[in-house]
DNA sequence: CCTAATTTTTGGACTAGATCAGAAGGCGAC
DNA sequence: GTCGCCTTCTGATCTAGTCCAAAAATTAGG
């Protein structure tokens, strides 16, 4: 079927491929585009949503639509730090600590950390950007008893090196899940997404050299910003 | 904000959690639901799309909306056959061969298979179901010269065992990418999706015991049907 | 019973608007 | 300069429908 929707998607796609818009550039507003294509905002928006699903464009809530840069290649099995990984791909990384607190584990977290009763955890929320675009919300939950005095350290750096230098812990084993789902409210807010938009959730659990479960990490990626690449030899 | 959209999503979510609808059961039609919730079809559909994004429900094109069963846990690194993996999770698998042909590699495929000039490949398209629900479209592209007389074999079974028994090939090394993107037309049709709907694409490349690139595989999963689970020890 | 034509149901595409809330920018008071 | 207000711009939510195409159910004919 040659529908309007298809046609519009096709044209915008070509314009992006042809370089009319460059990476991270803002598209005209929905109102302007719908006028340009002689259609209603609803159909135009459906077209944009289609391209968003494909990973060609992304939106920032109430800010507009933008062209997606190439996906970052990410291997969750590698112990490489975020900043190093990004730099290796000729991109620029930055991290901002959003919140740090010590609190009782929620039932979700308790389950992942295999805690029997309600137990205290350190909860660190950070926001990571690539080339000045916010793409990842990370939440780390560490078992308090294993990390005394954690809050006194600089948490804007890599947690892996902090574990090693201050506590002598190495991550020798980990497992993780990759789940396509919707952004929960606090994540959506941090990533400038509308609530309920698609994200890629990675839930990882780390064990130290004594086989002890140390912490877990919830990563919420903007889905157009990343591709997971795993090699069976590289670990 | 307490919007209608949120409220409707919340109610349907509760109804699903509360067991009003069971797995794979059809929800009432969009028209019925919009009347029930005293709203327009557009808003109601937005609510359903939200739940779809979360992975709670799924749709079959022009058939209706259904409640998603629990996600299948899938480890692309494990050499386990699809049918065995599904059986291990107390679910029932089935596979249907859609199409087999021998043709010149498209530029996409040629790139993945590292073919220098246009070269012939065997292309096998299969459709896989779990508990009678179609969840996965798989396309295998094998380098023709490595698999003489392939078309004479039974291709409804596992390709891995076919490689081993008839050609003496073992997959000793592989790498793969996981990409959230939209379903291309032929995939959407096979999975009963509307074109452009969200899928999880896994693109894998296999090498045999001589380090020779043998084949690649494109998997297109219904995103609510699967979660990828990888353990750093298990390979 | 089976097959084929027909009707009904379904979601998909579409129109033409209004209202709302948050983000961003400009402007004035200090 | 900077802080707060206020306007403008943006997408998000919402109304009230129509028409279309494919799927499913029903019906009629053999």
Chain segment B154-200, per-residue pLDDT in tens: 887 889 989 999 999 999 999 999 999 999 999 999 999 998 999 99
Residue nearest to nucleotide C14 (CA to C1'): A43
CB contact under 8 A, B177 and A53: no
Q: Give the pLDDT confidence score for residue B157 in this predicted structure.
A: 80
* Separation CA B67–CA B58 (nearest Å): 6
Query: Which nucleotides on strand C sit less than 7 A from a protein beta carbon?
Result: 9-18, 21-24
User: Count of CB atoms within 10 A of residue A164's CB?
Assistant: 14
* A178: chain B residues, CB-CB within 8 Å: 178, 227-230
HSE-up of B164 (CA within 13 Å, CB side)? 9
pLDDT single digits (tens) B67-77: 999 999 999 99
Residues in chain B, pLDDT under 50: none
CA atom of A29 to C1′ atom of D10, Å: 7
Give the range among A43-52, A62-71, A167-176 with minimum mean pLDDT: A167-176
Name the CATH architecture for the domain at B72-234: 3-Layer(aba) Sandwich (3.40)
pLDDT single digits (tens) A77-90: 987 789 999 999 99
CB contact under 8 A, B229 and A174: no
Q: Give the pLDDT confidence score for residue A157 in this predicted structure.
A: 79
| Nearest CB to B231 within list A54, A175, A196 | A175
Q: Which residues pair with B126 in a beta bridge?
A: B97, B138
A235 has pLDDT over 60 = no
Answer yes or no: same fold for A2-67 and A72-234.
no
Q: Which nucleotide has the shortest C1'-to-CA distance from A197?
A: D12
Residue ranges covered by each domain of chain A: 2-67, 72-234
* Separation CA A10–CA A102 (nearest Å): 50
Burial class (CB in 10 A: 0-12, 13-18, 19+), A95: middle
The model's pTM = 0.95
Does the CB of A39 fall within 7 Å of any strand C atom? yes
Fold annotation for A2-67: Arc Repressor Mutant, subunit A (1.10.10)
Q: What percent of chain A has pLDDT over 70?
A: 99
């Amino acid at each position: 079927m040659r529908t309007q929707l298809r046609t519009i998607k096709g044209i915008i796609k070509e314009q992006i491929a042809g370089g009319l818009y460059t990476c991270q550039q803002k598209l005209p507003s929905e109102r302007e585009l719908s006028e340009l294509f002689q259609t209603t905002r609803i159909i135009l928006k459906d077209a944009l949503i289609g391209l968003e699903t494909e990973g060609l464009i992304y939106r920032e809530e109430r800010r507009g639509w933008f062209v997606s840069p190439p996906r970052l290649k990410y291997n969750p099995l590698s112990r490489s730090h975020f900043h190093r990984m990004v730099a290796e791909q000729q991109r620029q990384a930055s991290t901002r600590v959003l919140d740090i607190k010590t609190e009782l584990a929620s039932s979700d977290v308790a389950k992942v950390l295999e805690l029997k009763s309600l137990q205290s955890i350190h909860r660190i929320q950070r926001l990571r950007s690539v080339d000045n675009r916010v793409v990842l919300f990370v939440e780390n939950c560490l078992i308090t008893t294993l990390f005394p005095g954690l809050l006194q350290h600089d948490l804007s750096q890599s947690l892996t090196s902090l574990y090693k230098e201050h506590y002598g812990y190495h991550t020798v084993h980990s497992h993780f899940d990759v789940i396509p789902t919707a952004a929960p409210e606090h994540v959506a807010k941090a990533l400038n997404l509308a609530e309920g938009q698609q994200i890629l959730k990675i839930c990882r659990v780390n064990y130290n050299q004594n086989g002890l479960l140390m912490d877990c990490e919830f990563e919420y990626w903007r889905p157009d910003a990343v591709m997971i690449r795993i090699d069976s030899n590289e670990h």
